[in-house]
Structure 1
Amino acid sequence: MTGANLGLRFLLEVCALVALGIGGYGVAAPLAVRVLLAVLLPLAAAVLWGRYASPRATVKSPPAWYLTQLLVLGGAVAALAFAGHPAWAVALGAVTVANTAILRVLGEWHPSVTR
């Protein structure tokens, strides 16, 4: 069960990057700005995640770990909602919350977990 939930978590992280790209492209702005945001938002999220939230993060700070999780995953839900995809936002948010709760119960969702 742990392996499946960790695999789902990875898919949710990838979905968050895609959602941030969709949200960036959905901004009411000129095409160049939309394309730029569609690239930069997921890129910034990936850099933050790699530095603070990944199992092999270079910075080990529990507050930064929690904040990065909230910014990236919560930002992805918000980006989908603002881009006009509320059903996808609710689905992503619900699955993320459920997965987080399960991983927390299994002892796999904590900043001290490393791989």
Structure 2
Amino acid sequence: MLTLAKNANALLMFLLELGVLASVAYWGFTLSPNWAVKLLAGLGGPALFVAVWALFGAGGGANATFPLTGVARAALEIVWFGGGALALYASGPAASAAVFAALFVVNAVLRIFWNEV
């Protein structure tokens, strides 16, 4: 049963990662009525987030170019997932941003509790 819970939490982490990218893209495409700005922010924002995650956080650090551990990893996750929640909040749906942030906190606490960080 514990293995199932850990796997479900890993799935939640992956879905949250995708949620960050979707939130940033949504924010970018709602940023301005100007299509050039929409395209730049809507495609460039997620590309920037992907680059940061690939360099420092991918695969829990195992697949990252420059893996972070400890406090640096925690700071990366807070900034990365917090950025996703903030982008969602800035684009309008405050309740969705709150749910997203709460899901990240639950996911992070469970990973710390299960010693998976």
TM bin (shorter chain) = 0.7 to 0.9
CA distance in structure 2 between the aligned counterparts of 1:104 and 1:30, rounded to whole angstroms: 43
Structure having the higher helix fraction is 2
Question: With structure 2 as the length reference, what TM-score do the two structures score?
Answer: 0.85
Corresponding residue number in structure 2 for 1:60: 67
Question: Matched residues, percent identical?
Answer: 26
Corresponding residue number in structure 2 for 1:106: 114
One of 15, 37, 52 as aligned partner of 2:41: 37
Verify the 8 A CA contact 1:48 1:68 in the aligned structure 2: no
Corresponding residue number in structure 2 for 1:80: 88
Unmatched 5+ residue regions in structure 2?
A: none
CA distance in structure 1 between the aligned counterparts of 2:50 and 2:33, rounded to whole angstroms: 24
- Structure 1 runs of 4+ aligned residues shifted over 4 Å read none
Corresponding residue number in structure 1 for 2:23: 19
CA distance in structure 2 between the aligned counterparts of 1:30 and 1:45, rounded to whole angstroms: 22
Question: With structure 1 as the length reference, what TM-score do the two structures score?
Answer: 0.86
Unmatched 5+ residue regions in structure 1?
A: 111-115
| 2:10 aligned with 1:2 | no
- Residue-pair matches, total: 109
| 2:103 aligned with 1:95 | yes
**Could you tell which deviates more after superposition, 24-33 or 39-48?**
24-33
